[in-house]
Amino acid sequence: MSEAAGPDDPARILLVEDSETQALELRLLLEANGFSVERSPTAEAALDRLNGSLPDLVVADYHLPGMNGDELTRQLRLSLRTRALPVLMLTGARDGERQGLESGADAYVAKSDDRDLLVLRIRALLRERKAAPPVSEAPGAAGFRRGRVLVIDGSATYRTFLAGLLGQEGHAVAVADGAEAALAALDAGPEPFDCVTLDLLSPAYDGLALCRAVDERRGAGAGGAGFHLVGISGSAPGKDFLVRAYAAGADDVVAKSDAEVLALRVRGLVRRRLLEEDDRRIAGAFGAHERAVERARAEAEAAAARARLADALEQANADLATANRRLTEAQAKLVQAAKMASLGELVAGIAHEINNPLAFILAHQGTVERLLGEMPPQPEETSARALAKARDRVGTMRMGLTRIQDLVLNLRKFSRLDEGERALVNVPEAIETVLALLQHKLGARIAVERDFGGRSEIRCTPALLNQVVMNILANAADAMPEGGTIRIGTRSTAETDEIRISDTGPGIPEDLREKIFEPFFTTKPVGSGTGLGLAIAYSVVQAHSGVLNVEAAPGGGACFVIGIPRQAVSA
């Protein structure tokens, strides 16, 4: 409890003394004997000071102005913090001793007593405090117990009398009639003694020698380390005898004639030992509790840290997986974009090369067709047949040339040679127009569901809606020859406008989902598909910095998603 000094630090004594001269004299004496001294002139000031750090011992004058030493001791015994603090009372009055002890002081020294004896008493009190045995940490391990006293006395009568007196005080008393029985009792254990009284002047044994033997046993930890050893002397023992008794290990010497004072002393010191033991147990229990709480807290923190680490690892793994997927996607898109870009250049070159001869072949074909039309009917059958055949072939040539012209037009669209101006386009209206144009393809067999939840106007080239939506819708119709449903939905976020077109056809196998955007990739019969529809759609969407993806629709059909970033198109 006390913030006692370390083993090598001087013991700290609080001196409560009102007289300046006596305080100075005592301070000098105590300091000369190696103690560190603080002084309070009144009991009230002393109590104030004790709110701070605790000394190892209080030496209090019985006569103090205001609250006297007796009341001060009572106050100290009332507080859990100070109740086991040893108090030595100084008094000039003989009957003060009894009062001092009654109030709970641990020792009494008359001011008139020899100063050496005062120092010996102080040393005994401090020694006893240090020698206190350790207390089990388990709360309640010691439980409530009675003080245990060993009475060593050669006289059967006095032994019985003293044992009876102490027994009445509530102590558990053992008796010994001499050295042998006394040492046997101390060695017997396991119950420790709190106090041993020893008649120093018994004719039955050498009192001082036995005192030394008992003290040695105490030093060796017998009989409960740190029991209090009270020597019993004749009335008014001389200084010499007292010094020898203290030197032999007695902590206290009491006159045999004053049995009541002896009983008071024993009661006081037993009480203090029990309080100290209790304090240590409480401190131990608190310590154990605090350590348990601390351990639990540390374990909880470690568990939380482990959980956080695991979470972080899991998160990091998930992040890594996401990053990997994005990287793969980005790589695939880059490859796709690069492929489309180089194909675009190639196609643009070819389209240009074809377009020039095509232009003059078409012109000449027109001229030839016109000239053949202007020729008069041939009288000769052979000539007439040749003319008819020439007209027919020229017509077929026109059909072929028109198809080449369409193809070149598509190639130019794919390579974005015919990119239009951007304008605000009303999405639902544009989609409705495309649907009207495709009506012949859709017929009655294909139902169209609309869900226009996005922004109605977006800024884009008309080709975006006409070409892209048209190509996707035409493909959807082709994919459902037996009929089905096309769903067109629009959605907008702050950043993008999205058009989703799904059908209830067979869908697109996963391994073909990249390929379908390549030019000339088609699964349609020769003559009916060019493989350019989605390639054109892809390149138009890309010109808007957008994305064109294909997913599986809920029913297994294809779902094309056109995503157009707002910033890019409104720029």
Scan for tokens 């009480």, then name that residue.
Answer: 271
Question: Contact at 8 Å (CB) between 557 and 484?
Answer: yes
- Applying CB under 6 A, the span of 19-27, 185-193, 366-374, 514-522 interacting with ligand ADP comes to 514-522
- Applying CB under 6 A, the span of 30-38, 55-63, 157-165, 517-525 interacting with ligand ADP comes to 517-525
Of 214, 230, 229, 235, the residue nearest 262 (C-alpha): 230
**Choice between 493 and 523, CB closer to ligand ADP:** 523
Q: Which helix (H) or strand (E) segment is 14 a member of?
A: strand 12-16
Q: Would you tell me how many other CB atoms lie within 10 Å of the CB of residue 175?
A: 19
DSSP one-letter code for 466: I
**Choice between 79 and 523, CB closer to ligand ADP:** 523
**Choice between 198 and 558, CB closer to ligand ADP:** 558
Q: What is the nearest approach in angstroms of ligand ADP to the Cβ of residue 352?
A: 22
Site string for ligand ADP, 448-487 (x = CB under 6 A): -----------------------x---xx--x--------
Q: Per the structure block, which two tokens stand in for 280?
A: 């240590």
Which listed residue (10, 41, 178, 529) binds ligand ADP by CB under 6 A? 529
**Choice between 99 and 530, CB closer to ligand ADP:** 530
Q: What is the nearest approach in angstroms of ligand ADP to the Cβ of residue 542?
A: 15
d(CA 288, CA 387): 120
**Choice between 408 and 476, CB closer to ligand ADP:** 476
Q: Would you tell me how many other CB atoms lie within 10 Å of the CB of residue 397?
A: 16
Which listed residue (53, 456, 523, 545) binds ligand ADP by CB under 6 A? 523
Q: What is the nearest approach in angstroms of ligand ADP to the Cβ of residue 551?
A: 11
CA 110 remoteness from chain centre: 63
Q: What is the nearest approach in angstroms of ligand ADP to the Cβ of residue 366?
A: 29
Kindly identify the residues of this chain, within the stretch 492-511, that bind ligand ADP according to CB under 6 A: 503, 505, 508
**Choice between 212 and 513, CB closer to ligand ADP:** 513
d(CA 292, CA 493): 55
- Applying CB under 6 A, the span of 366-374, 438-446, 481-489, 526-534 interacting with ligand ADP comes to 526-534
Q: What is the nearest approach in angstroms of ligand ADP to the Cβ of residue 407?
A: 11
- Applying CB under 6 A, the span of 43-51, 111-119, 489-497, 530-538 interacting with ligand ADP comes to 530-538
531 interacts with ligand ADP by CB under 6 A = yes
d(CA 169, CA 259): 13
CA angle (329 as vertex; 325, 330 as ends), nearest 5: 115
**Choice between 499 and 532, CB closer to ligand ADP:** 532
d(CA 544, CA 569): 6
**Choice between 29 and 543, CB closer to ligand ADP:** 543
Q: Which helix (H) or strand (E) segment is 158 a member of?
A: helix 156-168
- Applying CB under 6 A, the span of 84-92, 340-348, 370-378, 524-532 interacting with ligand ADP comes to 524-532
Q: What is the nearest approach in angstroms of ligand ADP to the Cβ of residue 310?
A: 45
Kindly identify the residues of this chain, within the stretch 533-552, that bind ligand ADP according to CB under 6 A: 533-535
**Choice between 246 and 414, CB closer to ligand ADP:** 414
Cis peptide before 190 (omega within 30 of 0): yes
Scan for tokens 């000039």, then name that residue.
Answer: 92
**How are the residues of the chain apportioned to helix, strand and coil, as percentages rounded to the nearest 5?**
55, 15, 30
> How many angstroms separate the most distant Cα atoms in the chain?
180
The residue sitting closest to ligand ADP, measured at its beta carbon, is 533
Crossing angle for the helix pair 43-50 and 69-78, to the nearest 10 degrees: 20
Kindly identify the residues of this chain, within the stretch 29-88, that bind ligand ADP according to CB under 6 A: none
558 interacts with ligand ADP by CB under 6 A = yes
Q: What is the nearest approach in angstroms of ligand ADP to the Cβ of residue 511?
A: 12
**Choice between 241 and 521, CB closer to ligand ADP:** 521
Count the residues of the shown chain that bind ligand ADP, applying the rule CB under 6 A.
20
Question: Contact at 8 Å (CB) between 546 and 562?
Answer: yes
Crossing angle for the helix pair 470-479 and 427-437, to the nearest 10 degrees: 50
How many Cα atoms are found within 13 Å in the side-chain-facing hemisphere of 164? 6
192 interacts with ligand ADP by CB under 6 A = no
Q: What is the nearest approach in angstroms of ligand ADP to the Cβ of residue 306?
A: 51
Q: Is 416 left (phi over 0), alpha (psi -120 to 50) or beta?
A: left
How many Cα atoms are found within 13 Å in the side-chain-facing hemisphere of 445? 14
d(CA 256, CA 200): 10
Residues 6 or more apart from 304 whose CB is under 8 A from it?
Answer: none
- Applying CB under 6 A, the span of 73-81, 196-204, 243-251, 529-537 interacting with ligand ADP comes to 529-537
Binding site for ligand ADP (CB under 6 A): 471, 475-476, 479, 503, 505, 508, 516, 521-524, 529-535, 558
